[in-house]
Amino acid sequence: MWQRWKRLKTGEKVLFGFVALLVVVAVQNYISIEVRRLSSANPVRPILTHYDFSGDGFHGSELFRKNNCSSCHRAIGNGTNMGLDLDGIGSRRDFKYLESFLRDPEGTYITRTVEHGMAPKSAAYVAQLPEKDRHDIAVFLSQLRADRGGAAARLPPVGKSGFIDAMLDMWVPDSWRIMFSDIRTKDDGADEAAKKGADGAAQGNHNDH
């Protein structure tokens, strides 16, 4: 081994030494992160998804595990990432869409799917499950919600972002600023009150007629 090392050129020794250093640093960082994760009472990364299951939703979570859906999908922090990560899916898709997808994946998705759809795809069995089971799994998925600011959330995080503001200043035409409002500063409560007021006024005008 030593003789082989001596026969290497200086550049090769530097390259191998640099790679070895990277490996050592990577291992040290991994160990430190794991030690912190195991010893910390708080999660290392922020958890931006939540769930509050109904009776059907809880039963659907059991069916999700029982039918081995977690072998491809991740939900409630468990499973694999071979397929779509389903944590927060309820913030992107409603119950009707999810139930329809479980019953007829490719008809709902409007294109060929990788694992769902007609046999011999590995997840084709999902469409053959009893209707009540598909219903409960769809309820379970619809109740996997994302917090505002999470990757699966429809709304951006509250407050300003220097990076987003810089991109807007650089790329957004002035005409867009007139046409669209910045929903990061939108007061949902005020908008809802205004909407109710407008509806009340419209109803009053209708009664006058």
pLDDT value of residue 43: 67
Burial (CB count within 10 angstroms: exposed 0-12, middle 13-18, buried 19+), residue 73: buried
Output the pLDDT for position 185.
Answer: 59
Please report which confidence band the pLDDT of residue 91 belongs to, taking 50, 70 and 90 as the band edges. Answer: very high
Range of weakest confidence among 73-82, 137-146, 147-156, 173-182: 147-156
**pTM of this prediction?**
0.60
CA distances from 64 to 60, 95, 126, 137 (A): 6, 16, 10, 6
DSSP string, 35-66: HHHHH-SS-SS---EEE---HHHHHHHHHHHH
Determine the average pLDDT of the residues in 6-27: 87
pLDDT score at 135:
97
The band of 87, judged by pLDDT with boundaries at 50, 70 and 90, is very high
Cα 177 to chain centroid, rounded: 29
| Extents of the domains making up the chain | 2-39, 49-146, 162-204
Quick check: 138 pLDDT over 80? yes
Q: Residue 194: pLDDT above 50?
A: no
CB 152 within 8 A of CB 92: yes
Residue 185: CB partners within 8 Å, gap ≥ 6?
160
- What dotted CATH number matches 49-146? 1.10.760.10
Q: Distance (Å, rounded) from C-alpha 107 to C-alpha 105?
A: 6
Structure tokens at 20: 């070895």
Asked whether residue 179 carries a pLDDT value surpassing 70, the answer given is yes
How is residue 146 annotated by DSSP? Answer: E
Q: What are 114-128's pLDDT values in tens digits?
A: 899 988 899 999 999
pLDDT of 54 reads: 96
**What per-residue confidence (pLDDT) applies to 128?**
94
